[in-house]
Amino acid sequence: MVLLRHISVALTAAVAALGSALFIALNFFYKRRIWSPQAEYCTIKEEEEERGRRQVLVLGLDGAGKSSMLQGLSAGEAAAKRGGSRPTRGFNFISLSVPACQLDFLEIGGGEDLRRYWSDYLKRTHVLVYVVDSSDRSRLPLAKAELHRLLRVEPQLPVVVLGNKQDKPDAAGVSELHEALSLGSDTSDRKLFLLAAQLGSDGSTRTSHQGLDTFQDLL
């Protein structure tokens, strides 16, 4: 009887030990295997970093001047004359080789139906360029709301806000834009720049600071 009890205690202990070992092994296996979109994004971003590529995501409301800026940046392409670009219905992409790295500029259209996809691209991005039409005063509150939605998603991401269309007589200046877009309310320790910009007569976007130098400094 005593012997039987000993055997039964030993068996219970063995089963418990086997169960624990199995649990630990399965846990280890699945932790390594489970796929998550975030992990996938991070892997792609790391791979791109290794190859010296940096992604600059260009966002802003429709008509802000994102495509014009990209067209102006791409060498050899017919310059972006005012009134020359159509609304972007999806993406717009250009890649530039600069001394430090390869800069991939990705614009996503600013139409209302496309804005909901903007934040999906933040994870793979190294710098966000947010273009604002400084003369479109009635939509500055909307531009601000969309910008802050993005800032909340990625608190560390460096951001360059371009106060575009400074050539227009009613354009808001830098300090007015700073106020209207509540840029001072971003309490994170991210790098955030506000630059005045306008499309030059040659079709390139001129900023209050050397544009490409700003990106290179940030990267």
Ligand X SMILES: Nc1nc2c(ncn2[C@@H]2O[C@H](COP(=O)(O)OP(=O)(O)OP(=O)(O)O)[C@@H](O)[C@H]2O)c(=O)[nH]1
Residue nearer to ligand X on the CB measure, 68 or 214: 68
Positions touching ligand X (CB under 6 A) are: 60, 62-68, 82-85, 87-88, 109-111, 131, 164-165, 167-168, 198-199
Residue 147 Cα to chain centre, angstroms: 11
Q: Residue 167: which of ligand X, Mg ion, none does it interact with, CB under 5 to 8 A by kind?
A: ligand X
Binding map of Mg ion across residues 19-58, x = CB under 5 A, - = no contact: ----------------------------------------
Which helix (H) or strand (E) element contains residue 161?
Answer: strand 159-164
Q: Is 31 annotated as a binding residue?
A: no
Q: Which of residues 86-125 bind Mg ion (CB under 5 A)?
A: 88
Greatest Cα-to-Cα distance within the chain, rounded to the nearest angstrom: 101
Closest CA to 58 of 5, 122, 152, 153: 122
Q: Is 168 annotated as a binding residue?
A: no
Q: Which of residues 54-93 bind Mg ion (CB under 5 A)?
A: 66-67, 88
Q: DSSP readout, 60-123?
A: -STTSSHHHHHHHHSTTSPP--TT--PPPSSEEEEEEE-SS-EEEEEEE--SHHHHTTGGGGGG
- To the nearest whole angstrom, how small is the minimum distance from the Cβ of residue 128 to ligand X? 14
Q: Is 61 annotated as a binding residue?
A: yes
Closest CA to 162 of 61, 54, 55: 61
Residue ranges at the known binding site for Mg(2+): 67, 88
As annotated, the binding site includes: 60-67, 88, 110, 164-167
